[in-house]
């Protein structure tokens, strides 16, 4: 009988080790740690967003054949992380994620895309963005080797658009709240910045400041390209950047690096990134990028569905495999709390510490149900949204728009600033009619040249709409199938423990 239990134990152990070979990564203070071994984790990453001849960005994690081709080469490169910039949450990613897990590769995933992202010139955070971000986070939270989410990449990139950071920080707050609400593991959510000399100090402090820790970035990435050719730790500015982050309370890593002004690249910075000059402060970095594209940063060239290593691949492999960063164990590490003061509003920094509200579809429905004049069916059925845009501009010149607009600099956000343009226009039509319906000289009617129509309001409680909570459902938890039965990681561990006791009793 003991032999039978031993067989059961071995089967369970083989399945567990095969599927959960990568332990979730956790954060303590300024560092990443393996949650099981408690060893410090250093990112040896590569940016992965193949675009091909069309140069259009698509979902590389839905290309099972591409992932199966590239994952072994990434492992041979010496990488342990891939950073992906865009995915389609509606597609199947299991095959790619399995390929990465089998080759020891964690995923750092950007949740914004060119279609769904904060516009730095005219920032807004609405239901469409919230739902898109929530969908991506919900889809990928189930993978134990999902290392982290990046809520924004260089959204604020100079002193002219710093107010956009208030909107990105709101996204961080909401995705962290969504993950916490789900009851799953605490997956880090952070930000990746460029290195602009006028805002570098303010932006790194802004994303980790304030009393509301739920809005703090869990880590901060820097896209740093100053080490070119035969540069040095001091000459490249890496020494100065390292000094600036010495007392930073969160993990910081190079979310992109690999200047290509001098080619082929020899990646001299790798020795510094994973050596004693930087490992006390930095947690590694992500080389840009895997495939050869028009910008000529590639490590490999894809042709006829085959990957050919380029000179940069071999040069990076030589130094990356030789890099053996010396860390500290999680138990030995003494965390030092350090929350900086939020940067003051200045000529170079204009992001308010008051953040936009979490978009709530229930609040927008409630608002619309309180209206007696709404956008017409003809406008809703039109294939062009130019009418809505021009009408919003026109109406904002006739009535106040504070209820449907927001300002990242002043920190003032209307109760319905996150609703759709259609609902916002309905709000303005209704507001104008109510304010001018008793004008004896020119009483307002619900028409607006056919763009509006009169309806019967379903509710009379608009003041309560803003209190309706946002949707926080949808997170999938980690699970896998074995012999036709689905197990969560915790249930498998219980089975292992049970079998172990049966064998030894």
Tokens of 170: 């709101």
- Same structural domain, 311 and 449: no
Kindly report whether the global pTM for this prediction surpasses the value 0.85. Answer: yes
Given CA atoms 74, 175, 282, 202 in this order, what sign does their dihedral have?
positive
Residues 311, 182 share a domain: yes
Q: Tell whether the model's pLDDT for residue 393 goes beyond 80.
A: yes
Residues 166 and 265 in one domain: yes
Q: How many structural domains does the chain have?
A: 2
| Residues 267/273/275/276 CA torsion (nearest 10 deg) | 150
Q: Are 91 and 136 in contact (CB under 8 A)?
A: no
pLDDT of amino acid 221: 98
Q: Parallel, antiparallel, or unpaired for β 485-488 and 146-153?
A: unpaired
DSSP 20: S
Give the residues across from 475 on adjacent strands. none
Going through 95-138 in order, the beta strands assigned E by DSSP cover 106-110
Cα–Cα nearest to 219, from 272, 275, 176, 166:
176
Q: What is the CATH number of the domain that holds 406?
A: 1.20.58.1040
* Pair (308, 385) in one structural domain: no
CB-based contacts of 104: which residues, under 8 Å, 6+ apart?
21, 22, 75, 80
Which phi and psi angles does 499 have, rounded to 5°? Answer: -65, -35
Q: For residue range 35-58, what is the model confidence (pLDDT) as tens digits?
A: 999 999 999 999 999 986 666 678
What amino acid positions are annotated as catalytic residues? 154, 256
Cα within 13 Å of Cα(119), Cβ side: 6
Looking at the structure, do residues 389 and 315 belong to the same domain, yes or no? no
Residue 431 and residue 427: Cα distance in Å, rounded?
A: 6
DSSP state of 341: P
Please determine, for residue 384, whether its predicted confidence score (pLDDT) is greater than 80.
no
- Of 291, 322, 353, which marks where a domain is finished? 322
- State which residues form the domain around 225: 2-322
Asked if the structure places residue 331 within a domain, the reply is no
Largest CA distance in the chain: 97
Q: Report the pLDDT value the prediction gives residue 225, as an integer from 0 to 100.
A: 98
Does residue 488 sit within a domain? Answer: no
The predicted-structure confidence for 234-267, as pLDDT tens digits, reads as follows 999 999 999 999 999 999 999 999 999 999 999 9
**CATH code (residue 14):** 3.20.20.80
């Amino acid at each position: 009988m003991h032999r039978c239990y031993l067989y059961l134990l071995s089967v369970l152990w083989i399945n567990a080790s095969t599927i959960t070979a990568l332990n979730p990564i956790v954060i303590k203070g300024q560092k990443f740690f393996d949650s099981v071994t408690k060893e410090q984790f250093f990112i040896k990453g590569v940016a992965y967003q193949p675009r091909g001849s069309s140069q259009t960005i698509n979902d590389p994690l839905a290309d099972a054949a591409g992932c199966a081709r590239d994952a072994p080469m990434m492992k041979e490169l010496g990488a342990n992380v891939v950073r992906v910039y865009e995915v389609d949450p509606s597609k199947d990613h299991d095959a790619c994620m399995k390929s990465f897990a089998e080759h020891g590769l964690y995923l750092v995933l950007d949740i914004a895309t060119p279609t769904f992202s904060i516009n730095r010139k005219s920032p807004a955070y609405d239901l469409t963005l919230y739902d898109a971000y929530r969908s991506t986070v919900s889809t990928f939270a189930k993978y134990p080797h999902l290392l982290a989410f990046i809520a924004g990449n260089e959204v604020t990139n100079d002193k002219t658009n710093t107010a956009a950071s208030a909107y990105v920080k709101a996204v961080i707050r909401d995705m962290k709240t969504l993950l916490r609400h789900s009851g799953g593991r605490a997956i880090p959510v952070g930000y990746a910045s460029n290195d602009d000399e006028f805002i570098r100090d303010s932006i790194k402090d802004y994303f980790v400041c304030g009393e509301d820790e739920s809005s703090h970035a869990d880590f901060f990435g820097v896209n740093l390209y100053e080490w070119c050719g035969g540069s040095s730790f001091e000459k490249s500015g890496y020494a100065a950047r390292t000094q600036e982050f010495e007392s930073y309370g969160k993990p910081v890593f190079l979310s992109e690096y690999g200047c290509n002004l001098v080619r082929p690249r020899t990646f001299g910075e790798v020795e510094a990134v994973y050596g004693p000059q930087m490992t006390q402060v930095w947690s590694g970095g992500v080389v840009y990028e895997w495939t050869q594209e028009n910008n000529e940063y590639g490590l490999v060239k894809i042709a006829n569905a085959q990957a050919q290593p380029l000179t940069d691949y071999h040069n990076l492999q030589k130094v990356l495999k030789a890099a053996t960063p010396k860390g500290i164990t999680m138990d030995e590490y003494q965390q030092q709390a350090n929350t900086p003061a939020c940067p003051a509003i200045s000529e170079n920094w204009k992001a308010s510490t008051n953040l936009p509200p979490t978009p709530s579809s229930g609040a927008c429905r409630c608002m619309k149900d309180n209206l007696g004049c709404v956008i017409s069916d003809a406008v809703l059925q039109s294939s062009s949204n130019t009418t809505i845009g021009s009408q919003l501009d026109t109406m904002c010149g006739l009535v106040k728009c504070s209820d449907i607009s927001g300002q990242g600099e002043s920190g003032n956000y209307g109760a319905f600033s996150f609703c759709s343009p259609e609902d916002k226009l309905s709000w303005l039509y209704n507001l104008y009619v109510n304010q001018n319906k008793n004008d004896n000289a020119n009483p307002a009617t619900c028409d607006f040249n056919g763009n509006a129509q009169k309806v019967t309001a379903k509710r009379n409680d608009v003041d309560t709409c803003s209190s309706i909570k946002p949707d926080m459902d949808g997170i999938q938890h980690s699970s896998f199938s074995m012999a036709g039965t689905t197990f969560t990681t915790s249930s498998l561990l219980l089975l292992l423990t049970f079998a172990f006791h049966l064998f030894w009793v």
